[in-house]
Chain A
Amino acid sequence: MDIFISALGFGVVTASILALAAVGFTLQAGITNVVNLAYGSMLTTGAFLAYVAQQRLQLNIWEAMAFAAVVLGIISVLINRLFVIPFVRRGVTHFNMMLVTFSVGIILEYIIVAVYGQTFYSLSGVPQNSITVGQLLFTGGQIAIIVLALLAMLTVHTLLQYTKLGKAMRAMADDKGLARGSGINVDLVTDVTWFLSGMLAGVAGVALGMDSGSFSEILGNNFLLVVVAAAVLGGAGRPYGAMIGALFVGLIMEVSTVWIPSEYKEIIALAALVAAVLYRPQGIISGRGRTVVVK
């Protein structure tokens, strides 16, 4: 029982990081209909930006996180403007679009390698004091990640439900042409979406770097497919689904380590993704009749 409880604690932390990343990924995928395979490298870039902010600007860990979020948001908009939008305008196939974003991811990753080499780095000033919540034992850093994820989810919820921008985003996710027709500035909303997605990637990347202790250039790309799994399990392109998907994937990954060796926990998450695509492409919680074409 003891192992189970501690696995549950790890599961909640993993789920929080996943939720940050998966919501950023799925928000952008749902609204712009582009699968961004550069997202893994963006997570890595977030962690490295925080590292740079700490080393060069002497910021503390939270200021560094904010810095990483804003800079990565700008990088994200640049990726959209320089690589994605031109190809979308040309009407490139979905697979070729994925090749473009994958290439962008490779370029980002190897820019990091060119500057920092293939060695390990770590963020300083991560709170290490232990805090007990009920029977679960966390470090201060882990509690901060959980609170941060909850705050971010609340912000995304407020943005989507109670602001005009959120309404525009939801309209675009449903039907881009119709949204344009009803006077929504589609290009601006697309840019804002990429910015938000980049910010969430920045926060998630820094959280991932904090949680894993030390990281190298493969940090985010090792995590990317788990993020995709959470997003797909929640129903591709649906932020609320991604939150549930993240919780589901985070928990089954960590809790499965009670019965099977922990090396295989990622395989469990990926198997859940494959099963979801084959049997429940609309996601584990199916919403009000949104059709997803899979065949």
Chain B
Amino acid sequence: MSIATQYYLITLAMYFFIYVILELGYNMQFGLTGIINIAVYVCVAFGGYVGATVTMGPSNFGQSYILGMNLPFPLPVIAGGIAGAVVSATVGVIVIRLRDQYQAIVTLVIAQMAYLFVGNYQPLFNGFLGLANVPHPLDTTLNLSTLRYQYVFLGITAAFAVLAFLFMQRVSHSPLGRVLRSIREDQEVAAVFGKNVIRLQMLSFVVGGFLAGVGGAFIAEYLGTISPSIWSTSEAFIVIAALLVGGTGNNYGAVLGALVLPVGIYELTQLIPSFGSATDLIDAARWILIGLLVCAFLWFRPEGLLAERKTKYRALRNVAKNPVPLPEESEPMQHEKMLS
């Protein structure tokens, strides 16, 4: 393989693993618990910003930002995750009690407010200019060639993605996962059974936000830059659409969604050679394709490529093996006898 192809494949794989982390977080919030969150990318962005600023040192080429620190590697990712969780908690306090259309509109509005605020208030994260020159983690300690370093970074991201997947599998098959699903299906019923619905929804929302923040930190550190232009509403739409295509409520679906939509369509269409003014055309074709794909999936396969499996419980399975004998057929009622 030529070096250029290797770089290209590494980029694709990076996007895949980062989106796996994002989709798993979003699946926890929406797929498992049923909370609508169009502000999902705000957590990603704040995770990215904080993950970047804690490695950029107190000052960096005259860019203005908060939290200038020089933390060693795994800490920035954790810091990004915590930032995502904090943002998520803040958004959650506002939206968790709302439902359906109102939850969607308010999260959409919060995302736009955060975008405008971060963009215009320069002291926070350098405004619309964004942060550049974010150091790559472990670059100086490992002292490898650029290509080798890319492979190492890819390995680290993949490890985090696998970890996140195992964690989420564990959660969805635990009693907690079952409670969250019951909240998704019917909040009142869950509340009647003594579950603290609001607290559980907040828990799920914050854990999802943590994963989004971790994903954001990887984005910032891989690209070496992060600015408001990479987290508009359209990016949130990609995350939402990918889970829809992959399979809502299913962790394998989240992984497949990350492979099909962000990587498959969004990145592979960049392969199409762009000439002159046709750059706009390719960009446009890609978005129109995504729009049509979402409509098509909502029409033909709303449960996604990998539908959520219905859980069968051992106790019920035993009942199925040794069915409780049904009561004997009772005698027809008196008046029916009289009729016959």
Contacts and interface: CB of A to CB of B under 8 A. Distances in A.
B144 interface: no
A295 B99 contact: yes
B173 to A, nearest CB: 26
B288 A114 contact: yes
Contacts of A106: 234, 237, 287-288, 290-291
Given A106-B287, A110-B287, A274-B94, A96 B298 contact: yes
Interface residues of B, number: 40
B102 A277 contact: yes
Contacts of A131: none
Interface string A262-295: 0110110011011001100100000000000011
Interface string B295-323: 10011001000000000000000000000
B94 A107 contact: no
Contacts of A263: 116, 120
B101 interface: yes
Contacts, number: 113
B320 to A, nearest CB: 31
A232 B299 contact: no
Given A118-B280, A263-B116, A263-B120, A281 B102 contact: yes
Given A96-B298, A102-B237, A117-B277, A225 B108 contact: yes
A83 B295 contact: yes
B283 interface: yes
Interface residues of A, number: 43
Given A100-B298, A267-B113, A271-B113, A114 B101 contact: no
Interface of A: 35, 83, 86-87, 90, 92-96, 98-100, 102-104, 106-107, 109-111, 113-114, 117-118, 225, 228-229, 232, 261, 263-264, 266-267, 270-271, 273-274, 277-278, 281, 294-295
Given A113-B283, A114-B288, A278-B94, 17 more contacts: A35-B101, A94-B101, A98-B104, A99-B240, A99-B294, A100-B298, A103-B290, A103-B291, A107-B291, A109-B287, A110-B284, A110-B288, A267-B116, A267-B117, A274-B94, A274-B110, A277-B102
